[in-house]
């Protein structure tokens, strides 16, 4: 018999610890500690848990601190992972207040679990190579060279799906040495020298400019990633969760996102 929302919350208590194990490996849990944390000035205290795509790790730490500063009493904790992993947690009833994925397909599959999603940003793909691009990679076609060690995200991961889309469109066959659970895992393989190249988001490559180079993919060959945000129906802080999602569309939040390399919706 399907669990009711209350039953699902009870069940979630037992599985939450296990569910959070992959999160630690894929980006971890981060609490944004801004100047407004706690209940300063008599403001009511509220704690929000936001499930967010791994590619948002760095920018959301900055955004969370800014949100707390603007909203005294708010404390925002992020759990970062691949969008497909976040979706699995939502379906299992893991306690959280809002969700931000790196594609609309994953969010659309959770329509019964979320409020109406709003796209807050967009992104593009680049080819990440070792620092100095020692293999001289210049295009998607170069990734077909069997001598290269190329890593891609798994096909169920948004960035993996986008990567397949652009490669298929150019009728290119790339045989990756591994398929990773999220974009940060792809980037890490290149950073560590375990791969010669990988396809990642532009914003992820920008976080590691001292370790990787980014080879642009022409617009005509690229894919645009959309990032929808939505509240979760089982949230115990529905009003505060809605306020946070709405804040992500404000000029202040968009400035943080664009400065990190994200495109406007």
Q: What is the pLDDT of residues 229-252, one digit of tens each?
A: 999 999 999 999 999 999 999 999
Report the C-alpha gap between 233 and 220 in whole angstroms. Answer: 39
- The CATH number linked to 18 is 3.40.190.10
User: Could you tell me if 17 and 112 lie in one domain?
Assistant: yes
User: Could you tell me if 80 and 142 lie in one domain?
Assistant: no
Q: Is the pLDDT of residue 4 over 50?
A: no
Q: What is the pLDDT of residues 112-144, one digit of tens each?
A: 999 999 999 999 999 999 999 999 999 999 999
- More confident site: 76 or 10: 76
Residue 190: closest CA among 182, 181, 199 = 199
In contact, 68 and 32? CB cutoff 8 Å: yes
User: Could you tell me if 111 and 206 lie in one domain?
Assistant: no
Q: What is the pLDDT of residues 96-114, one digit of tens each?
A: 999 999 999 999 999 999 9
Average pLDDT over residues 29-54: 64
- The answer to whether residue 253 is domain-embedded is yes
Mean confidence (pLDDT) of the chain: 88
- Contacts made by residues 102-107, CB under 8 angstroms, sequence distance 24+: 102/53, 102/54, 102/55, 102/56, 102/158, 102/159, 102/183, 102/201, 102/225, 102/227, 103/158, 103/161, 103/162, 103/225, 103/226, 104/226, 104/228, 105/158, 105/161, 106/158, 107/228, 107/230
Q: Which pLDDT band holds residue 21 (cuts at 50, 70, 90)? A: very low
Q: What is the pLDDT of residues 187-199, one digit of tens each?
A: 999 999 999 999 9
Residues 6+ apart with CB under 8 A from 205: 126, 128, 187, 212, 213, 214
**Poorest-pLDDT segment among 18-32, 126-140, 141-155:** 18-32
Q: What is the pLDDT of residue 27?
A: 38
Report the C-alpha gap between 30 and 27 in whole angstroms. Answer: 9
- The answer to whether residue 241 is domain-embedded is yes
Q: Which pLDDT band holds residue 25 (cuts at 50, 70, 90)? A: very low
Q: Which domain holds residue 38?
A: 5-122+226-259
Phi, psi of 251 (to 5 degrees): -55, -35
Residues 6+ apart with CB under 8 A from 156: 84
CA 51 to chain centre: 9
Average pLDDT over residues 212-236: 97
Q: What is the pLDDT of residue 3?
A: 47
- The answer to whether residue 139 is domain-embedded is yes
- The answer to whether residue 155 is domain-embedded is yes
Report the C-alpha gap between 38 and 71 in whole angstroms. Answer: 10
Q: Is the pLDDT of residue 52 over 70?
A: yes
User: Could you tell me if 114 and 133 lie in one domain?
Assistant: no
User: Could you tell me if 25 and 147 lie in one domain?
Assistant: no
User: Could you tell me if 205 and 183 lie in one domain?
Assistant: yes
Give the global pTM: 0.83
Q: What is the pLDDT of residue 11?
A: 46
- The answer to whether residue 248 is domain-embedded is yes
Structural domains of the chain, count: 2
| CA-angle at 57, arms to 190 and 28, nearest 5° | 90
Helix axes 83-92, 5-26, angle to 10 degrees: 150
User: Could you tell me if 115 and 200 lie in one domain?
Assistant: no
Q: What is the pLDDT of residues 161-177, one digit of tens each?
A: 999 999 999 999 999 99
Percent of the chain surpassing pLDDT 90: 83
Q: Can you tell me whether residue 248 is helix, strand or coil?
A: coil
User: Could you tell me if 208 and 131 lie in one domain?
Assistant: yes
Q: Which pLDDT band holds residue 44 (cuts at 50, 70, 90)? A: low
- The answer to whether residue 72 is domain-embedded is yes
Q: What is the pLDDT of residue 15?
A: 41
User: Could you tell me if 109 and 232 lie in one domain?
Assistant: yes
Average pLDDT over residues 28-53: 62
CA 50 to chain centre: 11
User: Could you tell me if 189 and 250 lie in one domain?
Assistant: no
User: Could you tell me if 97 and 129 lie in one domain?
Assistant: no
Q: Is the pLDDT of residue 30 over 60?
A: no
User: Could you tell me if 118 and 236 lie in one domain?
Assistant: yes
């Amino acid at each position: 018999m399907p669990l009711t929302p209350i039953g699902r919350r009870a069940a979630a208590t037992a599985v939450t610890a296990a569910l959070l194990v992959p999160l630690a490996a894929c980006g971890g849990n981060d609490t944004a500690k801004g100047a407004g944390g706690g209940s300063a000035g008599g403001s009511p205290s509220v704690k929000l848990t936001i499930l967010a795509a791994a590619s948002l790790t760095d920018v959301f730490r900055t955004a969370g601190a800014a949100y707390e500063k603007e909203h005294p009493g708010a404390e925002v904790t992020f759990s970062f992972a691949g969008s497909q992993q976040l979706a699995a947690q939502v379906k299992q009833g893991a306690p959280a207040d809002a969700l931000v994925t790196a594609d609309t397909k994953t969010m659309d599959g959770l329509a019964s679990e979320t409020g109406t999603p709003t796209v807050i940003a967009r992104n593009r793909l680049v080819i990440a190579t070792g620092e100095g691009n020692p293999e001289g990679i210049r295009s998607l076609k170069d990734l077909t060279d069997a001598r290269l060690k190329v890593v891609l995200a798994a096909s169920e991961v948004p960035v993996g799906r986008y990567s397949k889309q652009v490669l298929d469109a150019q009728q290119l066959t790339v045989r990756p040495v591994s398929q990773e659970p999220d974009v940060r895992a792809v980037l890490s393989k290149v950073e560590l020298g375990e791969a010669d190249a990988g396809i990642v988001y532009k914003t992820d490559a920008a976080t590691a400019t001292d370790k990787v180079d980014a080879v642009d993919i022409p617009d005509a060959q690229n894919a645009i990633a959309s990032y929808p945000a939505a509240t979760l129906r089982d949230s115990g802080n529905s009003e505060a969760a809605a306020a946070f999602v709405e804040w992500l569309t404000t000029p202040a939040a968009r400035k943080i996102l664009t400065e990190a390399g994200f495109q406007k919706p």
